[in-house]
């Protein structure tokens, strides 16, 4: 079949054994030929089939289209086989790519223990509590130059920085790129790049961030719903902005929309401009997002990254993971999508497709993850992992004063930054005192990314600034440790710079990132709610003086760097793939076309159960008759 497709020759298949029947069926579905049954082959049927395939141009047309799609790959099959063969040779195996499905017993994979817990709860008279839970959950529900629109509207620099190199590269390749962004690139040399500034929406995010962080340790559900409320608000103010409304009402046209999948109302731009769209996320994908595009995900093997654990070692964790996955699915797919639909109707107009329908028709989905730092997981061909520092830029020289500080750090240096969202000035006074007291007793130079350029009570070895060129700082040979909140970008930058980490997570995916760091052995994790001087000092000395942390992060960096394409190269190649083929409908998940009862095999289970009960009944009657 492959030879026929690449030669653009339609087929008549007469299958005999093995996979030939299955291949013939696939050929029929794709319209590149006909299939005949050799056991009932008649002259008239055979002749008619030959004439049909030869004279009807649709078969030739379909096999040519299929050949074009099959040929359009970043590497040939042989090149992939050779590259990955040598990959295994380089790393003496690939245990880091081993499937986590192999590590759990069947009863956990089938969620039998979780189901048993539910049954016990129901049987023990806790029905009222369970009913109340479900009522609450349900209540939540009541290659040529192209024009590209990029929408990364979440007001957080860590969301923006991942995709700025993509806009830059697409612009330099001759594409006309327009972006809606909360952080501008502002590079006058990028003449093909037009930026619409959404920085004003930071106020809506920062107004709830403190509450989100406060709730994350006591009430995760409240924290997550707080995030969705904030996203609803800054979606509203962004869509209402005059320049955004001007774009929506304009007669502009685009060949492709690239949109962040955290804010469904922004999917409306794909429908507005009637063009293919690519979904993106600056971190790993939420379960509900993967399910929406038809990518199955197991809640026990791959817990939601908003949870504070990444393993399935206890029944409580497995139950929590399943329950939280169900909660987020109801919250996002029903309540949040419904509220976002109102924004589409208000700011785009009536008669738009549902947001779920638009999401399901996504051409590709870019996620900022990789199988090295994250667990290996089954992903559809239209889910492209662009992790591995797609946003990394070549190292540049440090500012002279900063370079002098680091060069003179004879005992080594520590870089301390909690990212762009967590404000150090918002730390409890006691926590800040504990940190400063610890740094004062250390022989190391400390760079602290603070909220101002001056800290009155800073020890002599602590240098503060509102901003540091983080990637270049981490690459300085005297930097021994990175104390971070555990964001994806900070973690990746530390890995590529071979700098071990102490993570102090505050919210969102930072907890699961910290857990993965612990599992992989290149750092330690501390709780900011109970941070004490002795604990912090001990952790710093352990990570700096114990060589295993440095060794592990260097090993991880080597694995993460050893890829046939960089994350940016993959993102650019697949973006232009969608442009070349005007979408990627051939990658659409077949899971989207079957009802839930078929996906969960409920009809098969019911059939087996009925047959089993009938057989048991017959056996019972036979035994009863025999015993008489």
Question: Can you spell out the DSSP letters for 357-397?
Answer: HHHHT-SEEEES--TTTSPP----TTEEE--S-TT-----P
How much is the pLDDT for 106? 87
Determine the Cα–Cα distance for residues 165 and 146; give it in Å rounded to an integer. 17
Q: Residue 449 contacts by C-beta under 8 Å, 6 or more apart in sequence?
A: 415, 416, 417, 418, 424, 464, 465, 466, 467, 468, 470
CA distance 517 to 501: 8
Backbone angles phi, psi at 130, to 5 degrees: -65, -45
Report whether 150 contacts 180 (CB < 8 A).
yes
pLDDT at 14: 95
User: Which residue's structure tokens are 């996002």?
Assistant: 332
List the one residue out of 436, 99, 499 whose CA is nearest residue 301.
Answer: 99
User: Looking at residue 470, what is its pLDDT?
Assistant: 93
pTM: 0.88
Max CA separation in the chain (angstroms): 101
Q: What is the pLDDT of residue 392?
A: 59
Among 318, 304, 155, residue whose Cα is nearest residue 221: 304
Q: Evaluate whether 444 touches 480 at the Cβ level (below 8 Å).
A: yes
* pLDDT at res. 219: 84
- Residue ranges of the chain with pLDDT lower than 50? 130-143
Residue that has been written with the tokens 């129901």 in this structure:
122
pLDDT on residue 126:
52
What distance in Å separates the CA atoms of residue 172 and residue 425, rounded to the nearest whole number? Answer: 40
């Amino acid at each position: 079949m492959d030879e026929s497709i690449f030669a653009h020759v339609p087929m008549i298949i007469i299958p005999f054994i093995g996979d030939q029947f299955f291949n013939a069926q696939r050929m029929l579905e794709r319209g590149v030929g006909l299939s005949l049954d050799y056991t009932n082959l008649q002259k008239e049927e055979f002749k008619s089939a030959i004439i049909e395939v030869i004279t009807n141009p649709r078969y030739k047309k379909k096999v040519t289209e299929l050949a074009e799609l099959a040929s359009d790959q970043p590497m040939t099959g042989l090149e992939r086989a050779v590259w990955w063969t040598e990959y295994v040779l380089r790393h003496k195996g690939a245990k880091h790519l081993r499937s986590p499905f192999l590590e759990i017993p069947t009863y956990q994979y089938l969620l039998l223990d979780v189901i048993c817990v539910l049954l016990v709860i129901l049987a023990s008279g806790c029905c009222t509590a369970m009913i109340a839970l479900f009522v609450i959950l349900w209540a939540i529900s009541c290659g040529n130059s192209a024009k590209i629109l990029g929408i990364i509207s979440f007001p957080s620099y860590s969301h923006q920085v991942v995709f700025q190199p993509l806009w830059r590269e697409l612009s330099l390749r001759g594409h006309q790129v327009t972006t809606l962004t909360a952080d501008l690139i502002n590079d006058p040399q990028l003449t093909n790049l037009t930026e619409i500034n959404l920085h004003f929406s930071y106020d809506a995010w920062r107004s709830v961030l403190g509450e989100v962080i406060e709730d994350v340790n006591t009430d995760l559900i409240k924290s997550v719903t707080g995030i969705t409320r904030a996203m609803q608000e800054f979606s509203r103010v962004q869509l209402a902005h005059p320049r955004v409304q001007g774009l929506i009402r304009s007669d502009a046209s685009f060949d492709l929309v690239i949109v962040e999948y955290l804010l469904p109302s922004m999917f409306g731009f794909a429908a507005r401009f009637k063009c293919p769209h690519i979904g993106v996320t600056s971190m790993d994908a939420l379960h509900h997002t993967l399910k929406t595009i038809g990518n199955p995900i197991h809640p026990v093997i791959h817990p939601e990254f908003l949870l504070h654990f990444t393993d399935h070692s206890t029944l409580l964790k497995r139950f929590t993971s399943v329950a939280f996955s169900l909660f987020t699915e109801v919250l996002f797919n029903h309540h949040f999508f419904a509220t976002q639909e109102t924004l589409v109707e208000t700011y785009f107009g009536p008669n738009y497709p549902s947001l779920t329908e638009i999401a399901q028709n996504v051409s590709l989905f870019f996620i900022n993850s990789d199988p090295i730092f994250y667990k290996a997981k089954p992903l559809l061909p239209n889910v492209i992992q662009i992790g591995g520092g797609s946003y990394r830029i070549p190292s540049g020289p440090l500012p002279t004063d900063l370079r002098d500080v680091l060069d003179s750090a004879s005992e080594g240096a520590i870089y301390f930054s909690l990212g762009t969202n967590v404000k150090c000035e918002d730390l409890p006074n006691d926590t800040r005192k504990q940190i400063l007291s610890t740094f004062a007793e250390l022989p190391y130079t400390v760079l602290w990314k603070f909220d101002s350029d001056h800290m009155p009570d800073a020890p002599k070895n602590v240098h503060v600034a509102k901003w540091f060129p983080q990637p270049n700082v981490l690459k300085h040979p005297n930097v021994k440790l990175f104390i971070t909140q555990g964001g994806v970008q900070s973690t990746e930058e530390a890995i590529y710079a071979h700098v071990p980490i102490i993570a102090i997570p505050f919210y969102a995916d930072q907890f699961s990132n910290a857990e993965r760091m612990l599992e992989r052995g290149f750092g330690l994790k501390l709780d900011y709610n109970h941070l004490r001087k002795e604990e912090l000092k001990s952790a710093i000395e352990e990570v700096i003086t114990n060589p295993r942390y440095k060794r592990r992060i260097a090993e991880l960096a080597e694995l993460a760097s050893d890829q046939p394409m960089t994350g940016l190269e993959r993102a650019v190649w697949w973006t232009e793939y969608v442009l070349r083929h005007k979408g990627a409908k051939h990658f659409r998940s077949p899971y989207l076309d079957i009802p839930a009862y078929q996906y969960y095999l409920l009809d098969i289970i019911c059939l087996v159960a009925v047959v089993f009960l009938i057989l048991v009944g017959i056996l019972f009657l036979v035994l009863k008759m025999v015993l008489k």
